[in-house]
Structure 1
Amino acid sequence: MNQASLYQNANQVQRHDAKLILDEFASTLQWRSDGEDALLDVGSGSGNVLMDFVKPLLPIGGQLVGTDISSQMVGFASKHYQGEERTRFQVLDIGCDKLPQELRGSFDHVTSFYCLHWVQNLKGAMTNIYNLLRPEGGDCLLAFLASNPVYEVYKILKLNDKWSEYMQDVEQFISPLHYSQNPGEEFSQLLSDVGFIQHNVEIRNEVFVYEGVRTLKDNVKAICPFLERMPSSLHEDFLNDFIDIVISMNLQQGEDNQDQKFISPYKLVVAYARKTSNIVNKFLDEKPNQLIFKGIN
């Protein structure tokens, strides 16, 4: 999860989905007429999704801030993209109790791709995203996992005596919406609760195909939080057990190494929300019949 250089080369799913969603919502984002938009990205990781797909959308005078809870990821991104103008990276825990003062109310847009499923305090994270946006208004575009087979694989691995000592807190690494009967409705309500008047939430059923054992192992190594807790001599054994469980779940196609593929069906939350100005919010509080809630579940 903290191996930035590995993640940079093994985040195919994240890149694939982020590009599709940004292409879809590029014209929906409320860009400023003066072209001086400030955008903060939550969970930028190694930075390649942000720089390859988000930055090209930003007006030429815009400012970009990439954030991540991992200082290693931030260090990697800062060094790798140090020549990029109007761009900086900094450490930020989006689930923190109190935002850094210099970030509060400073942004026109907040984006986040494949990060929020790591945050158990999802309401706290969304409150912080709301407070990152300017008082006069702004919007956010978010995509994160509602559910994924990897969470069930983790739970099975935890039952194995070989791995249980490294995975006692496995539930902390499972999306807070994984067990929800209606994740779209639940997240839509959460957006309303923290203050977003206008929002669209969609749960998309997706499938990604990993071509071969090595590709799947590299992806697991890039995101699995448990590997860094165990001796490196155990990594390959852990990954082999991971693959065996995936096969037992009938998520494999092909019998030999040449045509072997692994299927990952997952549910993706895609949400767009706008923060209205304090003046508009006051008006709506006085005239509740004017309030419009919009959601797609």
Structure 2
Amino acid sequence: MTINKDVINQSYNSLKYIASNRSQREKAFAITDEFNEYLKNISGKCIDIGCGPGDVTKDIILPALDPNAIVIGTDISENMIDFAKKTYIKEKRLEFDVLDIQTKNLPTKYVSEFDLVLSFHALHWCNDIKQAFENIYRMLRPNGIMLDVNKYTWPLRNSINPRKQLKELLQTLGFTVIHCSHRDTFHQDSNTDRFFSSIMAFLDFIDHMPRDHKEEFKKEFTHKFAETQIIYKQKNNQKIALDTYRILIAFAQKHVT
């Protein structure tokens, strides 16, 4: 029997990500709970952009919607999507597909197709955030809504007022902004390596680096990451890692012409 090492590595990366994405799951649950009144009434077709291995899509997003809603999870990573398809093959209301949300050629099958577009902690990876939001606007049906949560949006990293800038960008594209906030948040964990591991699991390009570059990158990344953490001890001397960061949340509706 021939063992396909690529398949093993793909599954391993996805499982490793799921095993360490506690923070992502907690924040996704908190946001779906905050916007519960809107989400529970959506019974149409929905899309989750940047779904990764699909566990958040299946466990958190799907239950937050009307029981008749259908969700398509998309991600730029073929490895993640292959894993999600195999893992959730029996879910009748769930599909998965590869999609780069920054594409200049949005597939016709996505145009004016969705009542809801969600993206949790994914669009901050985009280099062309304007193109991403343009595609999202095109993907929505009239009166369709978008819920986006970003840990860090690259084009807005040096903005004095990122909330205002994001809101103006969405309005320029034709969105009616229902909610837009820029807030401090945090994640604490007794496993000081778990949050770091979830990030490393997502950076699958590391596997394609030369060995010496890979080790150098990990060492530097580990050092920079450690600088952002606050480590404190509880009464039982158990170490707790506190990671603080800021997120942008946008909830917007496609303008009806």
Tell me the TM-score normalised to structure 1 length: 0.74
Does 2:188 align with 1:209? yes
Higher relative strand content: 2
1:142 to 144, 148, 162: 148
> Given that residues 39 and 65 in structure 2 are in contact (C-alpha distance below 8 angstroms), is that contact kept between their aligned partners in structure 1?
no
1:23 to 27, 33, 37: 33
Moved more, 177-186 or 77-86: 177-186
- Change in CA separation of 1:118 and 1:131 when aligned onto 2, cut-off 3 Å: same
Bigger radius of gyration:
1
- Change in CA separation of 1:244 and 1:49 when aligned onto 2, cut-off 3 Å: same
Cα distance in structure 1, aligned partners of 2:122 and 2:103 = 14
> Given that residues 50 and 74 in structure 2 are in contact (C-alpha distance below 8 angstroms), is that contact kept between their aligned partners in structure 1?
yes
> Given that residues 120 and 176 in structure 1 are in contact (C-alpha distance below 8 angstroms), is that contact kept between their aligned partners in structure 2?
yes
Deviation >6 Å, runs of 4+:
none
In structure 1, the residue matched to 2:241 is: 262
In structure 2, the residue matched to 1:124 is: 131
In structure 2, the residue matched to 1:114 is: 121
Tell me the TM-score normalised to structure 2 length: 0.85
Q: Offset of 1:239 from its aligned partner?
A: 4.0
DSSP 3-state at the match of 2:148: strand
> Given that residues 197 and 275 in structure 1 are in contact (C-alpha distance below 8 angstroms), is that contact kept between their aligned partners in structure 2?
yes
In structure 2, the residue matched to 1:45 is: 52
> Given that residues 70 and 94 in structure 2 are in contact (C-alpha distance below 8 angstroms), is that contact kept between their aligned partners in structure 1?
yes
In structure 1, the residue matched to 2:5 is: none
Cα distance in structure 2, aligned partners of 1:42 and 1:266 = 21
> Given that residues 57 and 73 in structure 2 are in contact (C-alpha distance below 8 angstroms), is that contact kept between their aligned partners in structure 1?
yes
Equivalent runs, 1:169-180 vs 2, <5 Å = 175-180=154-159
Cα distance in structure 2, aligned partners of 1:40 and 1:75 = 17
Residue-pair matches, total: 244
Give deviations 1:223-252, integer Å, cap 9, x for gaps. Answer: 335522335687667545444444455633
Does 2:71 align with 1:61? no
**Which segments of 5 or more consecutive residues in structure 2 lack a partner in the other structure?**
1-9
Cα distance in structure 2, aligned partners of 1:146 and 1:218 = 18
Q: Offset of 1:203 from its aligned partner?
A: 0.6
- Change in CA separation of 1:247 and 1:92 when aligned onto 2, cut-off 3 Å: closer
Letter of the aligned partner of 2:59 in structure 1?
D
Give deviations 1:4-33, integer Å, cap 9, x for gaps. Answer: 22111111111111100000102124835x
In structure 2, the residue matched to 1:167 is: none
2:253 to 274, 279, 283: 274
Q: Offset of 1:259 from its aligned partner?
A: 3.0
In structure 2, the residue matched to 1:191 is: 170
Q: Offset of 1:67 from its aligned partner?
A: 0.5
DSSP 3-state at the match of 2:199: helix
